[in-house]
Amino acid sequence: MPIYLYFGEDEYSMMQAVNALRESVLDPTWASFNYDKISPATDAVQTGLNQAMTPPFGSGSRFVWLVDTNITQHCSQNLLEDLERTLPQIPETTVLLFTTSNKPDKRLKSTKLIQKVAQVRDFSPIPPWKTELLEQQVKEMAQEVGVKLTPAGITFLAEALGNDRRQLHSELTKLQLYASQNTVLDLEVITTLVGSQTQSSLKLATAIRSGDTVKALELVADLIAHNEHPLRIVATLVGQFRTWFWVKLMIERGEKDEKAIAQAAEIGNPKRVYFLRQEVKSLSLNKLQKTLPLLLELEVSLKQGKEEISTLQTKVIELCQLFSQKRYV
């Protein structure tokens, strides 16, 4: 049955998938007649269902796209009955697509119904601490763009750009234009041409870990000056401190197997554990644990619309003070 549900916060990847699906369905000659993009409204779903039942004009299929739908978060009984009655009857000549940035609530009857009849794709960004998946993403996109990278270059791009696929595609396109045919770009060239804001966020995490307030505030100012979004800075900090916390926790529990530590900390490459051991050696598990709720408070404050720069600076100072305390607690 030609019904799809796309969800997740990776808007760039989702839009690429939407465009590919639309192009595979529509005949360009009849696209203006057979393409319906329906924005959120009180009657959006009913309108979409009605359009989906309408035969296409000319050749090709009809493509009906319900943008930012909330039926997997909230659905009235009347609307649920409409879905139950209509979805099984959608003709093969129509493709009906639901998209939402929110993760579907699996408890809802509407979600269960759509998951039963639709092809579901998750476009959630890769968590910043899953370095192996980020590096795999770089490899795959580099191959798509047609640029060859050294392993060190792949690692750098994964760290520098994190899970921002739009920026990754932009930077790889830039590198592809720079490189001559069959040239393998090394780390020196890549670092010269590509910005490294996530790497600066990792340096910020290190400054906080060292209790260096002055350095940390300088890095915050530099990140903001380079238009790095505060929530992305927070995401990188959460990933780094989460990794440090789990490595320290496993060490204190007496775990010596690097593979076991890597699995617990969701580290793709167990060889990284050796270096992470050195980084957390002098740190207190209790202090690492305290960073996570502080970072959560920071994330919530930013999402509630509080002034970004002062909020970020205040919480960074608080985090630095936590680690600058001399007593090991």
Domain boundaries, the chain: 3-122, 131-193, 197-324
Superfamily of domain 3-122: P-loop containing nucleotide triphosphate hydrolases (3.40.50.300)
**Left, alpha or beta for 242 (phi > 0: left; psi -120 to 50: alpha)?**
alpha
Predicted pLDDT of residue 198:
54
Residue with tokens 């490459």: 269
**Class of 197-324 in CATH:** mainly alpha
143-152, 193-202, 243-252, 271-280: the lowest-pLDDT one: 193-202
SS3 content of the chain, % helix, strand, coil (to 5): 60, 10, 30
Express each pLDDT in 79-99 by its tens digit: 999 999 999 999 999 999 999
Distance CA 206, CA 212 (A): 9
Angle, alpha carbons 38-44-46 (nearest 5°): 120
pLDDT tier, 327 (very low <50, low <70, confident <90, very high otherwise): very low
Interior/surface letters 85-95, b for 16+ CB within 10 angstroms, e for the rest: ebbeebeeebb
- For residue 116, give the 3-state DSSP assignment: helix
- One DSSP character per residue, 14-68 reads HHHHHHHHHHHH--GGGHHHHEEEE-S-TTHHHHHHHHHTSPPSSSS-EEEEETT
Yes or no: domain 131-193 corresponds to CATH 1.10.8? yes
Q: Output the CA torsion sign for 251, 252, 253, 254.
A: positive
Phi-psi region of 98 (alpha: psi -120 to 50; beta: other; left: phi over 0): beta
pLDDT at 180 over 80: no
The pLDDT value given to residue 199: 56
What percent of the chain is modeled with pLDDT above 90? 54
Give pLDDT, residue 213: 93
